[in-house]
Structure 1
Amino acid sequence: MSAGEAIRFDDTRLSIEDIVRVAGGAPVVLSDDAAFRARIARGADFLDRLLREDGIVYGVTTGYGDSCTVPVPAHLVGELPHQLYTYHGCGLGALLDPAQTRAVMAARLASLCKGYSGVSVALLEQIVRLLDAGLLPLIPSEGSVGASGDLTPLSYLAAVLCGEREVLRGGVQVSAAEALRDAGIAPLRLRPKEGLAIMNGTAVMTGLACLAWDRSAYLTRLCTRITAMASFALDGNADHFDETLFSVKPHAGMQQVAAWLREDLGYTGQVERNGKRLQDRYSIRCAPHVIGVLADALPFFRSAIENELNSANDNPIIDPDGERVLHGGHFYGGHIGFAMDGMKNAVANLADLMDRQMALLVDPRYNNGLPANLSGTKGERAAISHGLKALQISVSAWTAEALKLTMPASVFSRSTECHNQDKVSMGTIAARDCLRILELVEQVAAALLIAVRQGVWLRGQATLSHRVPPVIRVMHEDIDCHCGPMIEDRRLDLELRHLLDRIRSHAWQFDERAEKPRSTD
């Protein structure tokens, strides 16, 4: 699929990659299939008929949550959706960034397109218009307990659809009313259930989870490459990744990581030890066992996230074919909460692994002949040069913060809303925690790229082109274009930020065979 190809939304299944592409700016189209649009319309028409026949529908003819026993007079039913998003306008914390906001909007659109939410085609089209016009609701990240859905953050989407609150347009904050007017978009007047359908679902945690999965999968591959470079720099023993060795412990993800390491290191099954340690320390020897946990968990995480993405996850569910209103709890984000809690644990372990590799690289007691702190300074100036000493301290700080955040959020349920929401998922907090951990782990990875690049250079600078395995040489040369050898001490923050940008844009593309790494630059 080309970068410019639109993502089509209908009632068919979407992937994590579809949401990631929308988050990155890919255009969105709503299917013009007549059967799909007729199914959406049937749900809205069924609700209209119920209202005409004095049917009782939660959140349509009643109050919300614990107020479900409060009947709403017929002449006020039309105002109820406006009331819902208005009183939920109490979010705080950092605003979701543009990519996160687009992911959230796409996740909500995906759920509504399943045809079980009783919304109109016009509502779906309005979400698409906002995405196409680049009008992104300013959504505070804090205020959701993950059931009854992401009510408070999604209220900001509902309000903007109606021309209220604020949007980000071209990087500038403007009022939604002004932005819609300038774009020629008429504010929406929500139908009776549409406010509830927009807000009473898992779109925030699910959209964020899609982004988290994508970043985690990339880090799995990048951390493996960093480990290979660290192993080479430390003059490690590649026998630790032997295929026969790993055949007797059949975790598929772990075996894949070991295979990547063999390819990266050019391992053929024969190693000339020449005095090498029989067993390297755990952060090298057991790297497949650490990275492999995440590699093995990613398929499960994908299943949980994509099932949630492709679900109708609001309440009540409208069955347009059976003409039934089904009251349940599909807004509950337990699967996303569990996936995010598990993912953040496995990802933080990558930081811990790389932190230990960094400690080995800079310590002359353990780095097998490399200079202290990987300093490249020689002569009398070596006495005042400190190489990567401070960078190792920063790596420890980032790792400690990542590990601290691994406390599972999903077990901290709080009873809310007059004990109507007495067991909640905390899935959105788990997703936010996971993204923060990912930021920290990416920072650790950026630092390790500098360290392993320096270590590889120091280990083989005399005969670099001959001694270094092809994959590691190519990666080393690419890093060298952005961060050269440290001969004299220098500030590293600008180089770290540049490497972070490259990590987050997936600049290094890993082919199926590791000996063909390439940069997107």
Structure 2
Amino acid sequence: MNNANPSTPNEEIVHVGRRILSLEQVVAIAEGASVSLCKEADYREYIQKGARFIDSLLHEEGVVYGVTTGYGDSCTVNVGLDLVHELPLHLSRFHGCGMGEILSVPQARAVMACRLNSLAIGKSGVSYELLERIETLLNLNVVPAIPEEGSVGASGDLTPLSYLAAILVGERDVIYQGQRRPAIEVLQQLDLAPLKLRPKEGLALMNGTAVMTALACLAYHRADYLCRLASRITAMASLTLKGNSNHFDELLFAVKPHPGQNQVASWIREDLNHHEHPRNSDRLQDRYSIRCAPHIIGVLADAQPFLRQFIETELNSANDNPIVDGEGEHILHGGHFYGGHIAFAMDAMKNAVANIADLLDRQMALVMDTKFNNGLPANLSAARGERRPINHGFKAVQIGVSAWTAEALKLTMPASVFSRSTECHNQDKVSMGTIAARDCLRVLQLTEQVGAASLLAMTQGIRLRIIAGELQQDSLTASVAQTLHQVSADCDLLTEDRPLEALLRNTVAKIQQRQWEVCR
């Protein structure tokens, strides 16, 4: 994964503490927004009560899981009071076994934001100083180098979050100013002393759902845009194929009133200017990948409200164990680290997104094939005359689209059903939420690649119709004309065969940066 710093400065300030955080705010932090922790004296005191309550229990020699006991199945092992201050450091160290790619800087920033917001609820028994340090590191853009593999999603994201705990105490590596460096070296450069974690703080940092929730926030953001982009591409496919705009008529969709599905149909209808200039096809009914596009994209659109609810509720929860009620002086042992809601949301989202990849793949197949594309040249090649036989247009790109779609569809198997009993059967039912979130991001990446190829192909198809005099440029809606102009600025008409990898990568990057103006 890309470990570059957020690409553009972000002047936004996101306030944390005593307020609900939205997933858009997590995305803003991921993209470089500053964080401002609540500074009010009574809020600071509220946070400190939990830390002081833990101290009082130690003074009274009370038994607190993960404070005076070992972790997980080792909860029956008592830890002497002379060792309790070393226990958080050991927790972070023995979990330093992550593998796989390193999370990108935006992803790591999102993780830090999610963990900070959960701890800022004030039910984790941590000090205000700990919250301030995470705030400081975010604002200095010092992020932990977090391997993406190693979490089963309950007892939270222990292994990946140990990398956040580690940099706070000056261990392992950070990404700073585009370089991976030892944490202690960067802390010294910034004149920041390593923290000494208090008795509950290692557990509070690690025993939660921040990694899967952070990735879910970023996934939702990308899926939302993809929903709109796929609608625009479908309108362009309909134009390329001389399709029938009556398939998106408002009266038709009024009798099947799924809100998201109707919204998608409305977007396509507006792009085609159906009310003023309805278009008819040589076929009474277009094939399903055109006619049923609102019903396919609409599944994702209609799922968004519950996906948002699941993600934002988790984001704004205290999700470690035990929960510390500093005001009422209770220690509550439970399972709030369990990531089942995020697991389900990500499994659902990746299914809906992969179906969009499959839809665009089928549209691509139609416009490439002379048996189905209503008179366009094979493979959308613009070559003419004697040059035509040696040019192959988008042929290989369409093969790539098929490969990316197949991989996306393969990943739709729900991760949440692959629970594994682990850790001496203490963690005998786990969520796999982080794996589901990682799967979802991979499906999004593959679908964005399909979207990029489709956008280029439909732009080529519309331009071929215009060149042939079968479509008037001034008949295009402003929205479609703008997309056509934006894409054409990056891509000359494909007349002679040329490598398209760089163009595809650039188009994917613009999709991920939301540069194509498809939102209304």
The question of a shared fold, defined as TM-score above 0.5 by the shorter chain, is answered with yes
Partners of 2:42 and 2:270 in 1: CA distance: 50
Aligned to 1:497: 505
Pairing 1:361–2:364 present = no
Pairing 1:161–2:168 present = yes
Aligned to 1:58: 65
Q: Map residues 165-314 of structure 1 onto 2, 5 A cutoff.
A: 165-268=172-275, 271=278, 273=280, 276-314=282-320
Question: What does the per-residue CA deviation read over 1:363-415, in whole Å, with 9 as the maximum and x for residues that have no partner?
Answer: 01100111110010111000111111111000000000000011100000000
Partners of 1:89 and 1:511 in 2: CA distance: 42
Aligned to 1:87: 94
Question: What does the per-residue CA deviation read over 1:213-269, in whole Å, with 9 as the maximum and x for residues that have no partner?
Answer: 000000000000000000011000000000010010111000000000110111107
Aligned to 2:3: none
Query: Could you tell me which amino acid in structure 2 is paired with residue 343 of structure 1?
Result: M
Partners of 1:300 and 1:207 in 2: CA distance: 17
Tell me the CA shift for residue 320 of structure 1.
1.4
Q: In structure 2, which of residues 32, 35, 50 is the aligned counterpart of residue 28 of structure 1?
A: 35
Question: What does the per-residue CA deviation read over 1:164-190, in whole Å, with 9 as the maximum and x for residues that have no partner?
Answer: 001111111110000100011110000
Pairing 1:456–2:477 present = no
Query: Could you tell me which amino acid in structure 2 is paired with residue 384 of structure 1?
Result: I
Q: Map residues 344-383 of structure 1 onto 2, 5 A cutoff.
A: 344-383=350-389
Question: What does the per-residue CA deviation read over 1:459-510, in whole Å, with 9 as the maximum and x for residues that have no partner?
Answer: 1223642333332122101111111211111111111111111101001234
Partners of 1:255 and 1:269 in 2: CA distance: 19
Pairing 1:425–2:431 present = yes
Assess if the C-alpha contact under 8 Å between 1:77 and 1:192 holds in 2: yes
Query: RMSD across aligned C-alpha pairs, in angstroms?
Result: 1.1
Assess if the C-alpha contact under 8 Å between 2:483 and 2:517 holds in 1: no
Q: In structure 1, which of residues 142, 150, 156 is the aligned counterpart of residue 149 of structure 2?
A: 142
Q: Count the aligned residue pairs.
A: 510
Assess if the C-alpha contact under 8 Å between 1:460 and 1:467 holds in 2: no
Tell me the CA shift for residue 272 of structure 1.
5.3
Tell me the CA shift for residue 271 of structure 1.
3.0
Pairing 1:43–2:84 present = no
TM-score, normalized by length of structure 2?
0.97
Aligned to 1:339: 345
Residue 481 of structure 1 aligns to a residue whose secondary structure is helix
Question: What does the per-residue CA deviation read over 1:313-369, in whole Å, with 9 as the maximum and x for residues that have no partner?
Answer: 000000112110000000000000000000000000010000000000000110011
Query: Could you tell me which amino acid in structure 2 is paired with residue 148 of structure 1?
Result: S
Q: Map residues 476-515 of structure 1 onto 2, 5 A cutoff.
A: 476-512=484-520
**TM-aligned CA distance change 1:42 to 1:396, over 3 Å:** same
Assess if the C-alpha contact under 8 Å between 1:241 and 1:261 holds in 2: yes
Tell me the CA shift for residue 270 of structure 1.
6.0
Residue 84 of structure 2 aligns to a residue whose secondary structure is helix
Query: Could you tell me which amino acid in structure 2 is paired with residue 217 of structure 1?
Result: D
Further displaced range: 284-293 or 171-180: 171-180
Pairing 1:320–2:326 present = yes
Tell me the CA shift for residue 100 of structure 1.
0.6
**TM-aligned CA distance change 1:66 to 1:290, over 3 Å:** same
Q: In structure 2, which of residues 372, 393, 396 is the aligned counterpart of residue 390 of structure 1?
A: 396
Partners of 1:254 and 1:342 in 2: CA distance: 17
Partners of 2:157 and 2:381 in 1: CA distance: 50
Partners of 1:294 and 1:78 in 2: CA distance: 48
Assess if the C-alpha contact under 8 Å between 1:376 and 1:486 holds in 2: yes
Partners of 2:70 and 2:278 in 1: CA distance: 72
Query: Could you tell me which amino acid in structure 2 is paired with residue 508 of structure 1?
Result: W
Assess if the C-alpha contact under 8 Å between 1:229 and 1:456 holds in 2: yes
Assess if the C-alpha contact under 8 Å between 2:486 and 2:516 holds in 1: no
Question: What does the per-residue CA deviation read over 1:281-330, in whole Å, with 9 as the maximum and x for residues that have no partner?
Answer: 00000000000000000111000000000000000000112110000000
TM-score, normalized by length of structure 1?
0.96
Partners of 1:33 and 1:455 in 2: CA distance: 59
Q: In structure 1, which of residues 458, 468, 476 is the aligned counterpart of residue 476 of structure 2?
A: 468
Partners of 1:3 and 1:242 in 2: CA distance: 41
Aligned to 2:118: 111
Partners of 2:320 and 2:275 in 1: CA distance: 54
**TM-aligned CA distance change 1:391 to 1:510, over 3 Å:** closer
Residue 494 of structure 2 aligns to a residue whose secondary structure is coil
Aligned to 1:120: 127
Assess if the C-alpha contact under 8 Å between 2:296 and 2:356 holds in 1: yes
Aligned to 2:16: 9
Aligned to 1:151: 158
Partners of 1:465 and 1:89 in 2: CA distance: 59
Assess if the C-alpha contact under 8 Å between 1:116 and 1:318 holds in 2: yes
Q: Which runs of 5+ in 1 are unaligned?
A: 513-521
Query: Could you tell me which amino acid in structure 2 is paired with residue 466 of structure 1?
Result: D
Assess if the C-alpha contact under 8 Å between 1:117 and 1:316 holds in 2: yes
Assess if the C-alpha contact under 8 Å between 2:157 and 2:211 holds in 1: yes
Aligned to 1:517: none
Assess if the C-alpha contact under 8 Å between 1:239 and 1:269 holds in 2: no
Question: What does the per-residue CA deviation read over 1:65-122, in whole Å, with 9 as the maximum and x for residues that have no partner?
Answer: 0111111001001000001001111110111111110000100001000000000001
Tell me the CA shift for residue 11 of structure 1.
2.7
Further displaced range: 322-331 or 260-269: 260-269
Aligned to 2:5: none
